[in-house]
Amino acid sequence: MSSLSYRAASEVSAERGNDTPLEIRKFLKDKSILITGATGFLGKILVEKILRVQPDIKQLYLLVQPRGGLSPEQRVQSQILDIELFEVLRSKLGKEFEQFTKKKITVVGGNVRLPDLGISSGQAGAITPDLDCIMHLAANTRFDERFDVSLRDNTLGSASMMEFAKTCPKLKLFLHVSTAYVNAHKKGSIIEKPFKMGQTMAEILARETDESRLSDGEIPRLDINFEKELAENARDSGYNIDKEMVELGRRRAKLFGWQNVYTFTKAMGGMLLFENRGHIPLAIVRPSSVLCSYKEPFPGWVEGFKLYDPIAYPFGLGQFPGFPMLENSVLDMVPVDMVVNTILAVVTKHYGREQQDTFVYHSSSGSMNPLFGKDYGEAVYKHFKAYPMMDNNGNDILVERFRCFEDADEFKRSVRSRLLSAALVRLRSSKGSNSDTDKVRQQEYAKNAENLRRQICQDEQETFGYSVYGVDWINFLAEVHLPGLRRHVLKKHRIQGLKQEHSQTPSRL
């Protein structure tokens, strides 16, 4: 770090003091921010929120790749600005909407996998001098991705983003969105700390349970360069390469103690960011499982299936009576708009600060207001009882109370279709669940984000707060999340059994 930027960072820090109330709107004013992953679930709602609450943002640069025959610009228009999520902002601005978004958004064609992020040198030269902050959300979120692909997107892609950050002369923060599940099967209290280079979950878990495994040399050391070579070499061999690369990712993740290739490559991405950050202040937000919006811009907005959603819909169709989970297992979930508010509080806090001890934040609910397996089951039952799906004859499908199965074999026998049973069991293991249901996977994420929330200034608590204490999970899932899923996801895919009127069920708290 140059002495100049050190001075600037410490001046800002001294000005604010540690407990100075966070003023998020003021922070956003006149800032130029590069966002990756803007076409994703979280990214869209982040872009919407910033534009809605701070029209005086200077510029949002959105790094987007071309896809499906659409240019990055066309994707931003059709997959971000034209969707229902933006209706609130659209009606607020009226005729000004097009002009406003045109002025505030610059689309940057690029892909974190490519050399120089695939950004043309002309465009890179134009944006780097202007950037104040990078929010890196882009990720390959597939749990069963090929090893080489996941590694390039989540690990090496993050490192390339940091290299890019270093070419931005006035950049004062790199915000990385990771996932709370980089902590894999760790139970109990989970410290909000970055991974050190080469640290593995296998090692962390062995330290807790059986230290002798460490001294016996049973736990392999992780070397990211070796993983990269392994993936590259494997890519050049084999005839059923897709399948083999998926299997390689699964094996390497498991070897080092992670549940799947996604959390493994995300964890390695975090290591490279921490190791290579140089003078750039780094902050990391790790959400647990993200649900639909709680409140903003309206309740119930969601995209794609979330965590246990794939079981809710066939349950509503009467295809099975429950799921293998313990009644008292904690399903850690958090609404998407609360994650976005956490991100905004974290960037406001860390912008321009020298690296602090506290810079990893779990955005989660389990240690504050846990959602238990039995509550999830109750919510799903309550929802489909009130808003049933229909059978081929147009009749309501009646559901029985949701059962949490302690015995996975008993569950399998209860599913009508063997194919569905196999798919559900696969789903359960891909989410990293324990194979035997007698273990309660209880995680208590520490509370950095909770302490930070209290630092948001009083005037902005309503707009930027993210307290999960008040969330009535059963009501939220039954009356907001599942209706949101039916309206925004199932209807889009013309899912069987969906009644017109029920696909319009209001989201209400």
Ligand X SMILES: NC(=O)c1ccc[n+]([C@@H]2O[C@H](COP(=O)([O-])OP(=O)(O)OC[C@H]3O[C@@H](n4cnc5c(N)ncnc54)[C@H](OP(=O)(O)O)[C@@H]3O)[C@@H](O)[C@H]2O)c1
Question: Which residues of the shown chain bind ligand X in the complex (CB under 6 A)?
Answer: 36-43, 65, 67, 111-113, 137-141, 153, 157, 177, 179, 266, 287, 289-290, 306
- Local structure of 109: helix, strand or coil: strand
Q: How far is the CB of 112 from ligand X (least distance, A)?
A: 4
DSSP string spanning 325-340?
A: --TT-B--EEEHHHHH
Residue placing its CB nearer to ligand X in the complex, 40 or 194: 40
Q: How far is the CB of 39 from ligand X (least distance, A)?
A: 4
Q: How far is the CB of 163 from ligand X (least distance, A)?
A: 15
Q: How far apart are CA 303 and CA 292, in angstroms?
A: 8
Structure tokens at 455: 């630092």
Q: How far apart are CA 347 and CA 342, in angstroms?
A: 9
Q: How far apart are CA 289 and CA 76, in angstroms?
A: 25
Residue placing its CB nearer to ligand X in the complex, 110 or 322: 110
Q: How far is the CB of 195 from ligand X (least distance, A)?
A: 15
- Local structure of 402: helix, strand or coil: coil
- Cross-strand bridge partners of residue 334: 290
Instruction: Give the orientation angle of helix 41-53 with respect to helix 336-350, to 10 degrees.
Output: 60
Residue placing its CB nearer to ligand X in the complex, 415 or 490: 490
Q: Which of 31, 44, 49, 266 is catalytic?
A: 266
Q: How far is the CB of 213 from ligand X (least distance, A)?
A: 29
Surface-to-core class of residue 215, CB atoms within 10 Å of its CB (0-12 exposed, 13-18 middle, 19+ buried): exposed
Shortest Cβ contact with ligand X: which residue? 40
DSSP string spanning 437-494?
A: TTS---EEE-SHHHHHHHHB-GGGHHHH----TT--HHHHIIIIIHHHHIIIIITTTT
Q: How far is the CB of 481 from ligand X (least distance, A)?
A: 12
Residue placing its CB nearer to ligand X in the complex, 90 or 176: 176
Residue placing its CB nearer to ligand X in the complex, 157 or 300: 157
- Local structure of 3: helix, strand or coil: helix
Residue placing its CB nearer to ligand X in the complex, 143 or 323: 143
Q: Which of 262, 361, 376, 445 is catalytic?
A: 262
- Verify whether residue 266 is a known catalytic residue: yes
Structure tokens at 384: 């489909």
- Local structure of 394: helix, strand or coil: coil
57: closest CA among 29, 34, 38, 35?
A: 29
Q: Which residues are catalytic?
A: 262, 266
